[in-house]
Amino acid sequence: MLQRLLAIGGAAVLVAASPAEARNIVISNDDGLTANVKALYDALKAEGHDVIVVVPCQQQSGMGAALSFVRPLRPLTADCVNGAARAGDPGAGPMTRAGLGGDFHYVDGTPVMALLYGLDIVAPARWGKAPDLVLSGPNIGQNAGSIVISSGTVSNAQYAMIRGIPAIALSAGENTGSGPDLANPRSLVVARQSVELVGELDRTSGGKPLLPPGTGLNVNFPDQPERAQWKLTRIGSYTRYELRFVPDLAAATGRKMPEGTPPMPGLTIGMSTAAPRADQRNDEAWVVQSAITVSVMQIGYDAPAGTEKRLGKRLGKLTGR
């Protein structure tokens, strides 16, 4: 199935084959209502899929798998991103922005909370069962390499996988952002390519779930996706983003502050300039600079069976194995 992805071309205008059957799909993300989400929804609907969208009210990048337990969601105190809902609207529910229709929903919470609202509330009401597929994204900015452990986009896919639902995390370049018009030509390209991927998984599924149990995909589109080729890669050790905690965030970022302002520590993020080692040349965080990367994920932190067996032998006396 995935070997077939290596041969898929990324032409400027991509038309996925008609799906063998319409799928029930939940779209979520960590950015809120965006051009990327709207374009993906439109492209999937055009292919005959039944789609619902459930996203955070506000931008929630970097929140990873954060949750707020047993804390009721009160009415909104501020408008959601791009007017998805307005101050005074409920803490979760259908978007009230005009022109979206009834398929779009929001949650005033973290990315995973938005996904779970979709899986536990919206999907059962719509289909009486779990969706066939969860698509998380496309994110505004790639989630490739070690940054995935902080990504709400990837965490949404992980939570869907834990529920036994096939899931794909989708991330595109920072240049796919938009304003309230929800319009970006590059979002349309990424949406068509995402639908092509779903179509290929559907075509090769043989009537079974779109992905094997316990697995998902992390897919990253380059900044210029128009003619990029698909590449099967791995989530490796090459670091595309460099994170550093600094004693004075303003000084580290060149930000002007009023005279006398005390140093304020914080976290910086920047792009790595280091080239990959020979064993890192197939890492998605390197390959994504020129290709659409497809990396297979497993659930959570489970180790490969071989590694578990070796460590089990070492700890056998202690654990009784």
Active site amino acids: 171
The C-alpha atoms of residue 104 and residue 95 are separated, in whole angstroms, by: 6
Q: Is 123 helix (H, G, I), strand (E, B) or coil?
A: helix
The C-alpha atoms of residue 288 and residue 283 are separated, in whole angstroms, by: 9
* Half-sphere exposure for 145 (CA within 13 Å, toward CB): 21
Helix/strand/coil percentages in the chain, nearest 5:
30, 20, 50
The C-alpha atoms of residue 210 and residue 31 are separated, in whole angstroms, by: 25
Under DSSP, the state recorded for 276 is P
301 contacts: CB under 8 Å, gap ≥ 6? none
Q: Are 153 and 143 in contact (CB under 8 A)?
A: yes
Strands 104-107, 230-233: pairing is: unpaired
Return the C-alpha torsion angle 47, 51, 55, 59, nearest 10: 10
Extract the tokens encoding 178.
């938009």
The C-alpha atoms of residue 145 and residue 283 are separated, in whole angstroms, by: 7
The C-alpha atoms of residue 184 and residue 181 are separated, in whole angstroms, by: 9
Strands 50-56, 266-271: pairing is: unpaired
101 burial via Cβ count (<10 Å: 0-12, 13-18, 19+): exposed
Maximum Cα interatomic distance, the chain, rounded to a whole number of Å: 67
203 contacts: CB under 8 Å, gap ≥ 6? 17, 20
